[in-house]
Chain A
Amino acid sequence: MYCTYQVDGLNLTNYINILKNRGISLYNLTKTSPKSITFSIELRDEQKFFAISKNMCYNYRRIKSFSGKGSPFFYLIKNIGLVIGCFLFVFLTFIFNDLVFEISFTGKGSVYKNQIKSYLKSNGVTAFTRFSQIDLNSLSDGILASNENLSFCECQKVGNRLIIETASKVKPTPVLTAKAPYLKTEFSGELVELKVYRGTPLKKVGDYVEEGEIIVDGFVTIKEQTVQTNVIASAKIKVQSEFYYYTDLDNQENEAESLALAQFDREVIEIKTEKLFEKEKYLYISTLYYIETIFSG
């Protein structure tokens, strides 16, 4: 273990001889300028070096603290705070690696995340749950069994996140009989798309249709003669659903929208929120728009 010093002053050879005669070993002695030298001394001679140099007219300063084979260990001993910090970091990393910080949903089955979240909550899997307490395989099986609309589920640990990958069941292909006398809507909303392969449309795109209203009828006029035929048509209707949120607080539009989206399990294409003030309370009406497809044939 060595320390390197720089000494400035006059008659430096005399100073070197004094150190040598007092039994201090000098290493790597170089003259950096006419009035300064640098050298290394052993760490055990440091106190002696200070005692000798104290009453002499030389300026000395340490330019390198520790060198030699044992310097890394000595550095660690001198900087015990660093060692404790490193150990603390490793320890905390080990501890926090076992905690769930976030639950993410991927795949097409993520539209059922509200149901999956409620299942996870009922099984005690929430944020800051320990991964060691969760059996990911049985959790995947449980989620799959709890939801009929899912065909696949896999839970994975990625860092501190619990990734739940799901796939929804493919709906069975409806059997077309080609015996529908008309296309009737089951929803109220704006007609956004209408495809008629056979039949006569009674509404056009942009019209508002009521529930139970006939959109495409089965009569066809051919050469001034009207005949009844089977309807083959499909339509997309923009349907809206409203959610109400009462609160005492003002400017809570974002919270009202978030709550409405959390309650709704369909793909929303548009959302609007209105604020009303009633009986010293604020009423937020969030209107969610989504697409419903109907067909006949």
Chain B
Amino acid sequence: MSFIEDIKKVLNVDEKISPSVYRAVIFGDSGAYFENVLGIACFCPEKIELFIKRGCIRICGENLSIKKLFGQDVAILGKINKIERI
């Protein structure tokens, strides 16, 4: 049994609820910070897609740029309209 499974059992949480494979901090509509990013799938000023452990995250907005890309962390600047997991 994994460590996560132990915690789920102790906390008595639903099976459907699982620890997120990524973490995102969104600063209003002016930027966002993502952790546990494996790579970049698509990059243009209107759309950025990030690889995560199981799937992708799509960030849509205007004038998007990557402020910092280091290890598994990505900081994105620009007006963010939508973040969705695909």
Contact = CB atoms under 8 A, between A and B. Distances in A.
Contacts of B67: 27-29
A122 B71 CA distance: 81
Nearest to A29: B66
B13 interface: no
Given A26-B69, A29-B65, A17 B44 contact: no
A21 interface: yes
A27 B42 CA distance: 17
Contacts of A13: 40-43
A16 B50 CA distance: 12
Main SS of chain B's interface residues? strand
Report the interface size class on chain A.
10 to 19
Contacts of A23: 71
Interface string A1-42: 000000000001100110011010111111100100101000
A16 B68 contact: no
Contacts of A27: 67-69
Nearest to B75: A27
Interface string B24-44: 000000000000000111111
Contacts of B66: 26, 28-30, 39
Given A13-B41, A13-B42, A21-B39, A30 B65 contact: yes
Interface residues of B, number: 14
Contacts of A31: 43-45, 65
Interface string A128-152: 0000000000000000000000000
Contact of B43 (A16, A21, A25): A16
Contacts of A30: 45, 65-66
Contacts of A28: 65-67
Contacts of A25: 68-71
Interface string A108-132: 0000000000000000000000000
Contact of A12 (B43, B45, B65, B70): B43
Interface of B: 39-45, 65-71
Interface of A: 12-13, 16-17, 20-21, 23, 25-31, 34, 37, 39
Leading 6 A-B pairs by shortest Cβ distance = A29-B66, A25-B70, A26-B69, A17-B39, A30-B65, A13-B40
Given A20-B70, A26-B68, A28-B65, 16 more contacts: A12-B43, A13-B40, A16-B69, A17-B39, A26-B70, A28-B66, A28-B67, A29-B43, A29-B69, A30-B45, A30-B65, A30-B66, A31-B44, A34-B44, A37-B43, A39-B66
